[in-house]
Homo-oligomer: A and B are copies of this chain.
Amino acid sequence: MKKMINGVESLLEESLNGFAKAHNDIIQFNHQPHFISRNKPTKQGKVALISGGGSGHEPLHTGLVGKGMLDAACPGQIFTSPTPDQMIAAAESVENGGGVLFIVKNYAGDVMNFEIAAEMLDCEHATVIVSDDVSLPKDHSTGRRGVAGTLIVEKIVGAAAESGASLAECKALAERVNNATASMGVALTSCTVPAIGQPTFDIGANEIEMGVGIHGERGREPMDLVSASEIVEHLTRAIDEDLSPPKGQKVLLHINGFGATPLMELYLMYDLAAQHYQEQGVEVVRSLVGNYTTSLDMAGASITLTLLDDELTVLWDAPIHTANLRWGC
């Protein structure tokens, strides 16, 4: 295994130390237990948004803490859920009279630990589970996984919370965005978790994994390596079957790289997906292209589509100032 690290044990702590130093104008790092929170006070009564999950998906979630988005993020070890003490400490630190909304990707460990934390909170609180990965059927036993659509939920609800929405409104909005969002990904390579030291799954030299998860979970099916056009056709078909965007529908199109795929390929995928939606009469009015919900060093990408209306578009456009996503301020 080739990594620029000092040791598997110290990797997360050292990385968070660097993150905190590089962005000390925006965030602070609480060491015991681990959480990242804004270092500027919020308006009294603002709903506090907290997310978290296993590390290895950066910039999700730590890089998305800041004005207009998250109030805190709880990083677990790589691909491992954070623990309830982290979530409770984060909530106690950032709650500011408006209650706490937990934004949780749908994985058994994350859901359970956030649930335990929620039960122990004294303040008003609610939880939304993100489940945008359409590679699994809707009636899958543990439900669909939360993947790159989580960023969309965090951005849009972050803007609403900033502008004074109540906890109930934030929760309802988060569920609305989750229902309006679908994602599917493809992997060209696996990823290597440092503590394991070898690729999470085997994949042939001319094979791709369609419908892969962001922790190297195997996908719907291994396939022969095909052209980018065929890959995009495959991914958009699954997304369209789920969301059925009607003609004239305005959408946000997000191409998310898993970490090791060059921007050139991500923009090429964007071109193909945008063409596809133009042919369908669907109007791409907002876009985001880059490595935002990563799987360590996995090569591959996902496509996320969110159905927009005027309200969601205004919230998407609202200013944000986080370590790794910033506009309007």
Contacts and interface: CB of A to CB of B under 8 A. Distances in A.
This chain's copy number in the assembly: 2
Contacts of A63: 263
Most buried by B among A18, A287, A299: A18
A196 interface: no
Interface in A190-214: 205-206, 208
Contacts of A21: 270-271, 274, 284, 287
Contact of A14 (B3, B263, B271, B284): B271
A231 B11 CA distance: 15
Interface string A280-300: 000010010111001011011
Given A58-B262, A264-B55, A290 B188 contact: no
A261 B22 contact: no
Contacts of A56: 262, 264
A11 B270 CA distance: 13
B262 A294 contact: yes
A11 B268 CA distance: 7
6 contacts: A2-B225, A4-B188, A5-B228, A5-B265, A56-B262, A291-B291
